[in-house]
Structure 1
Amino acid sequence: MAQIKSEKQYEVIMQRIEELLLVTDDNTPIDSKEIIELEMLSDLVEEYELEHYPIGTPSLPDVIKLRMYEMNLTQEKLAEMLGLSQSRISDYLTGKTEPTLKVARAISKQLNIDPGIVLGA
């Protein structure tokens, strides 16, 4: 099977994908040559990106910060919500310490974060 072997090939293929996206839409038949080419090139790009641009799992502090942003929470508000001190929240957000099981449960429930993420599973 073909594969992308260089960054230059990747860039050229990405440019071609952009061109194909301009001439196709949801109404384009799935057996059209443009859609077939688009799918094939997209598969090649996906394989290349998985190898060369892997996306790692976010850290618990990053997930908490994101959820705080989404919920418009300050460290003070989060501390009140969880019944903790602001300094303890700061320790979690900097990665200095990890939450206890009890606190991890509260973080999971109060911030609606998957328990597996909070527990590092």
Structure 2
Amino acid sequence: MDIQPIKNEGDYRRTLKVIEGLMDARLNTIEGDRLDVLVTLVEAYERNHYPIDFPDPVEAIKFRMEQQGLTVDDLVPVIGRKNRVYEILARKRPLTLRMIEGLHERFAIPAESLLKRPSGAAAAR
């Protein structure tokens, strides 16, 4: 099995082309094993060179609202009065620790996203 480490973008692109040609490889074959190893190398390269960052808190909340068909009223028990929910969504007020805990527990929004420093108006404070 001729496999080389991925050291740069050229290696990365070449490896992706090889993987594309091996996509129909069966498990427990030489081609299947080669595909498995190459995918692992690509994943490691991408993790180091193209990290995926968590969305900011407001975007995470809006995404979950859209995903689950939630309304502002659904957030009131966790965040507080409607006007406070609108302030959070407009980035005029930061989330409190209690809000973060509630959003994470009730709506399964990743805590990492909710703890991230928000972009926009509230971040500038």
In structure 2, the residue matched to 1:60 is 57
1:95–1:3: structure 2 CA closer, same or farther, 3 Å change rule?
A: farther
- TM-score, normalization: structure 1? 0.70
**Which whole-Å deviations, capped at 9, do the CAs of 1:56-89 have from their partners, x for residues lacking one?**
1222212211110111123x43455544224x32
Give ranges in structure 2 of 5+ residues lacking alignment.
117-125
In structure 1, the residue matched to 2:5 is 3
Give ranges in structure 1 of 5+ residues lacking alignment.
none
Identity of aligned residues (%): 30
**Letter of the aligned partner of 1:120 in structure 2?**
L
Q: Distance in 1 between matches of 2:5 and 2:87?
A: 45
Q: Let me know the Cα RMSD of the aligned residues.
A: 2.8
> Out of 84, 91, 99, which is 2:87 matched to?
91
**Letter of the aligned partner of 2:58 in structure 1?**
P
Q: Distance in 2 between matches of 1:108 and 1:34?
A: 43
**Letter of the aligned partner of 2:17 in structure 1?**
Q
In structure 1, the residue matched to 2:109 is 113
**Letter of the aligned partner of 2:103 in structure 1?**
I
- TM-score, normalization: structure 2? 0.69
Asked whether the equivalents of residues 3 and 48 of structure 1 are also in contact (C-alpha less than 8 Å), the reply is no
In structure 2, the residue matched to 1:103 is 99
Asked whether the equivalents of residues 20 and 38 of structure 1 are also in contact (C-alpha less than 8 Å), the reply is yes
1:10–1:117: structure 2 CA closer, same or farther, 3 Å change rule?
A: closer
Alignment of structure 1 residues 25-104 onto 2, 5 Å? 25=26, 28=27, 30=28, 32-74=29-71, 76-80=72-76, 82=78, 83-86=80-83, 88-104=84-100
Q: Distance in 1 between matches of 2:58 and 2:101?
A: 15
Q: CA deviation at 1:15?
A: 1.5
- Residue 8 of structure 2 is aligned to residue 12 of structure 1: no
Asked whether the equivalents of residues 56 and 114 of structure 2 are also in contact (C-alpha less than 8 Å), the reply is no
Asked whether the equivalents of residues 4 and 10 of structure 1 are also in contact (C-alpha less than 8 Å), the reply is yes
Select the structure with the greater relative contact order (CA < 8 A; seq sep ≥ 6). 2
Q: CA deviation at 1:20?
A: 0.6
